[in-house]
Structure 1
Amino acid sequence: MPISPMGRVFATVAFVEALTWAGLLIGMYFKYQAADPTPVGVKIFGPVHGVAFMVYVVVSVLAAIRLRWPWWAALLALAAAVPPLVTLPLEWWFKRRGLLSASVR
């Protein structure tokens, strides 16, 4: 089943959210664990990830409504934004289950 335009938006935003999470984690490593600590990565990726997180939440709600997800899928999508990098496997799983495709009803 082809992915709907809203499904593509969700997949793109999920990827960006995971990418900014990775950038923030790397920035935190260099701030707290590196031999020569520098807060630059956190200063850059902190706000970027904050915006990506908020956009992901809004897009998840819109996708749940427009693609007619069951309640459990909407809740999983929102919960996936909290732990690092979970939006990627969730998006892959949603794609395999057909949740990113246009509704056939």
Structure 2
Amino acid sequence: MGIADGISLLVLLLIAMPLKYFAGLPIVVTIVGSLHGAIFVTYVIAIAIVQLRIRWHIIYSLIAGVVAFIPFGNFIFDKYIKQAGEKYYAAKINA
């Protein structure tokens, strides 16, 4: 979900906003902004579900929320979490 949120943020910032200001097409921001908003809400719900289900430390949830506002932040955080998850499950299997 983080990747989808990151992509929608980049589309909003790099495509929709320039179209609004340079091409006079504010409807693009309305459409892409609404889509990004829906994806963001879904992302926040997914963070809450993961927090409750696997008992993430609260710091991970806070970081996930903060990086959602930073372009490319979700991509970096997603890579880190994926690596941490692989190590966690590998340790569980080997235990």
TM-score (norm 2): 0.80
- What are the ranges of 5 or more consecutive residues in structure 1 without an aligned counterpart? 1-12
Q: Distance in 2 between matches of 1:63 and 1:74?
A: 9
Q: Distance in 2 between matches of 1:78 and 1:17?
A: 11
- What are the ranges of 5 or more consecutive residues in structure 2 without an aligned counterpart? none
CA shift digits 1:27-72 (9 cap, x unpaired): 001112x2x3222320210100011111101101111221221121
Aligned residues: 90
Q: Which has the higher contact order (CA 8 A, sep 6+)?
A: 1
TM-score (norm 1): 0.73
Question: Alignment RMSD, CA only?
Answer: 2.2
- Structure number having the greater helix percentage: 2
Q: 1:59-98 alignment to 2 at 5 Å? A: 59-98=46-85
Q: Identity of paired residues, percent?
A: 27
Q: Distance in 2 between matches of 1:92 and 1:68?
A: 19
- 2:20 alignment counterpart: 31
- 3-state SS of paired residue (2:41): helix
